[in-house]
Amino acid sequence: MKIYDGQNLRNVALVGHGGSGKTQLVSALLFAAGMVNRLGKVDDGTSVTDYDEEEIQRKFTVSASLAYAEWGKTKINFIDTPGYNIFLHETEAALLAADAALVLVHGVAGVEVQTEKTWGFAEKHALPRLLVVNQMDRDRASLERSLESLRAAFGRSVVPIQLPLGEEKSFRGAIDLVKMKAHSYDPNGPGKATETEIPAEYADAAQKAHETLIEMVAEGNDKLLEEFFEKGTIPVEDLVPGLQQAIAERRIYPVAVSAGLPIIGSSGLLDAIVDYLPSPVARGKVQGVDHAGGSPVERKVADDQPVSAYVFKTVADPFAGRVSYFKVMSGVVKNDAVLTNFNRGTTEKLAHIAVMQGKTQSPIPELRAGDIGAVAKLKETLTGDTLGDKAAPIQYPAVQLAEPAISFAIEAKSRGDEDKLSSAIHRMLEEDLLLRFSRDPQTKEFLISGSGQQHVEVAVSKLRRRFHVEVTLKAPKVPYRETIRAKAEAQGKHKKQTGGHGQYGDCWIKMEPLVRGSGFEFVNDIFGGAIPRNFIPAVEKGIVEAAAKGYLAGYPVVDFRVILFDGSYHDVDSSEMAFKLAGSKAFKKSMEQAKPCLLEPVMNVEITVPENYAGDIMGNLNGRRGRVQGMDSKSGSTVVKAQVPLAEMLSYASDLTSMTQGRGSYSMEYDHYDVVPQQIADKVVAAARAAGVGKEEEEE
Residues in contact with Mg ion by the rule CB under 5 A: 22-23, 61
Q: Which is nearer to ligand GTP, 107 or 554 (CB)?
A: 107
- Which one of residues 9, 67, 77, 83 is an interface residue with ligand GTP (CB under 6 A)? 83
Alpha-carbon gap, residue 468 to 32, rounded angstroms = 38
- The minimum distance between CB 86 and ligand GTP, in angstroms, equals 11
- Number of C-alpha atoms within 13 angstroms, CB side, residue 523? 10
Query: What secondary structure letter does DSSP report for 385?
Result: -
Please count the helices (runs of H) and the strands (runs of E) in the chain: 16, 38
Alpha-carbon gap, residue 689 to 442, rounded angstroms = 11
Contact of residue 245 among ligand GTP, Mg ion, none (CB under 5-8 Å per partner type) = none
Q: What is the CA radius of gyration of the chain?
A: 30
- The minimum distance between CB 19 and ligand GTP, in angstroms, equals 4
Question: Is residue 110 at the binding interface for ligand GTP, with CB under 6 A as the rule?
Answer: no
Contact of residue 202 among Mg ion, ligand GTP, none (CB under 5-8 Å per partner type) = none
Partnered with residue 607 across adjacent β-strands are: 640, 666
Contact of residue 135 among ligand GTP, Mg ion, none (CB under 5-8 Å per partner type) = ligand GTP
- Which one of residues 2, 37, 38, 43 is an interface residue with ligand GTP (CB under 6 A)? 43
Alpha-carbon gap, residue 22 to 28, rounded angstroms = 10
- The minimum distance between CB 20 and ligand GTP, in angstroms, equals 4
Contact of residue 260 among ligand GTP, Mg ion, none (CB under 5-8 Å per partner type) = ligand GTP
For residues 44 to 73, the per-residue mask of contacts with ligand GTP, x marking binding by CB under 6 A and - elsewhere, is ----------------xx------------
User: Is 464 exposed, middle or buried (CB count within 10 Å of its CB: 0-12, 13-18, 19+)?
Assistant: middle
- Which one of residues 260, 384, 404, 542 is an interface residue with ligand GTP (CB under 6 A)? 260
Other Cβ atoms closer than 10 A to 698: 8
Question: Is residue 42 at the binding interface for ligand GTP, with CB under 6 A as the rule?
Answer: yes
Question: Is residue 451 at the binding interface for ligand GTP, with CB under 6 A as the rule?
Answer: no
Residue 118: its H or E element: helix 113-124
- The minimum distance between CB 409 and Mg ion, in angstroms, equals 31
Amino acid at 332: V
Alpha-carbon gap, residue 575 to 505, rounded angstroms = 7
User: Is 206 exposed, middle or buried (CB count within 10 Å of its CB: 0-12, 13-18, 19+)?
Assistant: buried
- Count Cβ neighbours within 10 Å for each residue of 531-553 and write b for 16 or more, e otherwise: beeebbebbbbbbbebbebbbbb
Alpha-carbon gap, residue 16 to 132, rounded angstroms = 10
DSSP three-state, residue 86: helix
| Chain centroid to CA 247 | 25
Tell me the pairing of strands 436-439 and 446-450: antiparallel
Size of the site for ligand GTP (CB under 6 A): 22
- The minimum distance between CB 59 and ligand GTP, in angstroms, equals 6
- The minimum distance between CB 81 and Mg ion, in angstroms, equals 8
Question: Is residue 99 at the binding interface for ligand GTP, with CB under 6 A as the rule?
Answer: no
Alpha-carbon gap, residue 280 to 369, rounded angstroms = 8
Q: Which is nearer to Mg ion, 30 or 218 (CB)?
A: 30
- Which one of residues 158, 193, 261, 274 is an interface residue with ligand GTP (CB under 6 A)? 261
Q: Which is nearer to ligand GTP, 87 or 480 (CB)?
A: 87
Residue nearest to ligand GTP (CB): 83
Question: Is residue 259 at the binding interface for ligand GTP, with CB under 6 A as the rule?
Answer: yes
Q: Which is nearer to ligand GTP, 137 or 506 (CB)?
A: 137
Question: Is residue 20 at the binding interface for ligand GTP, with CB under 6 A as the rule?
Answer: yes
The candidate with the shortest Cα–Cα distance to 20, out of 112, 89, 99, is 112
- The minimum distance between CB 260 and ligand GTP, in angstroms, equals 4
Question: Is residue 590 at the binding interface for ligand GTP, with CB under 6 A as the rule?
Answer: no
Q: Which is nearer to Mg ion, 66 or 511 (CB)?
A: 66
The region that residue 384 occupies, defined by phi over 0 for left and psi between -120 and 50 for alpha, beta otherwise, is left
Alpha-carbon gap, residue 49 to 461, rounded angstroms = 19
Question: Is residue 381 at the binding interface for ligand GTP, with CB under 6 A as the rule?
Answer: no
Other Cβ atoms closer than 10 A to 523: 14
Q: Which is nearer to Mg ion, 22 or 129 (CB)?
A: 22
Q: Which residues contact residue 262 at a Cβ distance below 8 angstroms, ignoring those fewer than 6 apart?
A: 137, 185, 187, 188
User: By CB under 6 A, which span of 76-84, 155-163, 598-606, 668-676 interacts with ligand GTP?
Assistant: 76-84
Question: Is residue 118 at the binding interface for ligand GTP, with CB under 6 A as the rule?
Answer: no
- The answer to whether residues 628 and 643 touch, using CB atoms and an 8 Å cutoff, is no
- Which one of residues 6, 21, 128, 164 is an interface residue with ligand GTP (CB under 6 A)? 21
- The minimum distance between CB 84 and ligand GTP, in angstroms, equals 5
Question: Is residue 452 at the binding interface for ligand GTP, with CB under 6 A as the rule?
Answer: no
Partnered with residue 492 across adjacent β-strands are: 507
Interface with ligand GTP by CB under 6 A: which residues? 16, 18-24, 42-43, 60-61, 82-84, 134-135, 137-138, 259-261
